[in-house]
Amino acid sequence: MQIKTIESYDGLYQISDNGLVISCPRYLTDISGRIRFTKGGTLTPKTHPDGYYFVSLSKDGIATNKYIHRLVAEAFIPNPECKPIVNHINGVKTDNTVENLEWVTISENVNHAYTIGLSTNIGATHKNAKTITDSCTGKQYHSIKDASEQLCINYSSLRNMLCGANRNTTCLQYSY
């Protein structure tokens, strides 16, 4: 197990390559102004409503919540391309080991979520998907994409016709 100091919390907190956050032994001034010694130790992570582990780190009397996966990545994983997102490779939000983390773009993160089955909110299952009806034949399509593929109509053109941006030259319309 490797341990490194958390950047901007020098002498206060450390992070391990398996996601343990350690408070360093130090003297603190409490709320009443008394100086006391704290021996430090491993912090217990909390679970954010989005499912990720986080801890609260304090410096100069200001507490800030930090995601553990981000602390591990910042300390142990080089990011020469300055990618903004830390991805859990196996999809388990609580597995914050360095081997399970990687820096990715937003697009790479979204594609990864679909690839491993974490997100299925796409196409006909998307929360905003609307059924399309062909008023000439009565046939229904689950989405614009479905209709455009089956009828060999450009997706963007069909979308613009259905929303009124272009003149609708088809018998297709949204089903309500």
Q: What does the pLDDT average to over 163-167?
A: 91
Query: What is the percent of the chain with per-residue pLDDT over 90, rounded to a whole number?
Result: 72
Report pLDDT for 122. 63
pLDDT band at 155 (very low <50, low <70, confident <90, very high): very high
What's the rounded Cα separation, in Å, for the pair 48 and 99? 22
Domain edges within the chain? 3-69, 76-115, 123-174
Say what the pTM is: 0.69
Query: What is the percent of the chain with per-residue pLDDT over 70, rounded to a whole number?
Result: 94
Return the HEC string of 34-45.
CEEEECCEECCC
Report pLDDT for 123. 61
Cβ-count burial of 132 within 10 angstroms (0-12 exposed, 13-18 middle, 19+ buried)?
Answer: buried
Is the model's pLDDT at 84 over the cut of 70?
yes
Report pLDDT for 105. 96
Please give the structure tokens belonging to residue 126.
């998307």
Report pLDDT for 126. 67
Is the model's pLDDT at 23 over the cut of 70?
yes
Residue 113, C-beta contacts closer than 8 angstroms, at least 6 positions apart: 91, 119
Q: Using the Cα atoms of residue 104, residue 107, residue 111 and residue 117 in order, give the sign of their dihedral.
A: positive
**What CATH number belongs to 3-69?**
3.90.75.20
More confident residue, 111 or 30: 111
Q: Are 64 and 56 in contact (CB under 8 A)?
A: yes
Report pLDDT for 5. 96
